[in-house]
A and B are shown apart, each in its own frame.
Chain A
Amino acid sequence: GQQLNQSPQSMFIQEGEDVSMNCTSSSIFNTWLWYKQEPGEGPVLLIALYKAGELTSNGRLTAQFGITRKDSFLNISASIPSDVGIYFCAGQKTAGGTSYGKLTFGQGTILTVHP
């Protein structure tokens, strides 16, 4: 099935550094979401974006919904060890029809933070 192109695949950074990851798609989505998954857990919703151009923050996390509605990025500032995990972007179509509500996921970015 369709997947979003998420990059980078993995990142190894020092505590305190900023992190940036992004997702691109060949098709338009109405909503972009960013999730974090830790070992043994299901994905946890970090940020949801609803409008093209929207910039939203959640603590040290900032995400933007691209103007074309085909891309999004997530930034993490001043990383800490508990930021370790796998970050997934997901696009959601919220218009009517058979695609309503379904999520399409990126491949994930594995983040490792060295103290």
Chain B
Amino acid sequence: SAVISQKPSRDICQRGTSLTIQCQVDSQVTMMFWYRQQPGQSLTLIATANQGSEATYESGFVIDKFPISRPNLTFSTLTVSNMSPEDSSIYLCSVGRGAYNEQFFGPGTRLTVL
């Protein structure tokens, strides 16, 4: 498995502001991902965080709204920009480990936008 930490664990933010979420892994990993889990829903992939290059976004997610950084193989950030109440969700990072890149998840960041 992997030891994955996220900061902050939760936050309450005002509409129109931005929040940057950090994800730290205990050892180097090739693959890192960011997911969104809306209240009472399943997980939806936002993007793949690529080290040294731009993130790869899924349909419905754009870089201007969710800029991602991946400066090295143990760290990534996701920014939720110009927030609205619809952005209230749990944001989770995950890393691929093992021969088949099984994904292990961080504890999540619980975001509430007022």
A1, CB-defined interface residue at 8 Å: yes
Asked if B86 is an interface residue, CB under 8 A from chain A, the answer is no
A-B interface pairs (CB < 8 A), number? 68
Determine if B53 is an interface residue (Cβ-Cβ < 8 Å): no
What residue of chain A has the Cβ atom nearest to residue B9's Cβ? A40
Question: Could you say which of A42, A90, A94, A108 contacts B101, with CB atoms under 8 Å apart?
Answer: A94
Q: Say yes or no: A88-B43 contact (C-beta < 8 A), given A41-B108, A42-B92, A101-B31.
A: yes
- A interface residues, how many (CB within 8 angstroms): 28
Residues 53-69 of chain B, each 1 if its beta carbon lies under 8 Å from chain A, else 0: 00010111000000000
* A contact set with B: CB distance below 8 Å: 1, 3, 30-31, 33, 35, 40-45, 48, 50, 88, 90, 92, 94, 98, 100-108
Instruction: Name B residues whose Cβ lies closer than 8 Å to a Cβ of A.
Output: 1, 4, 31, 33, 41-45, 48, 56, 58-60, 92, 94, 96, 98, 100-108, 110
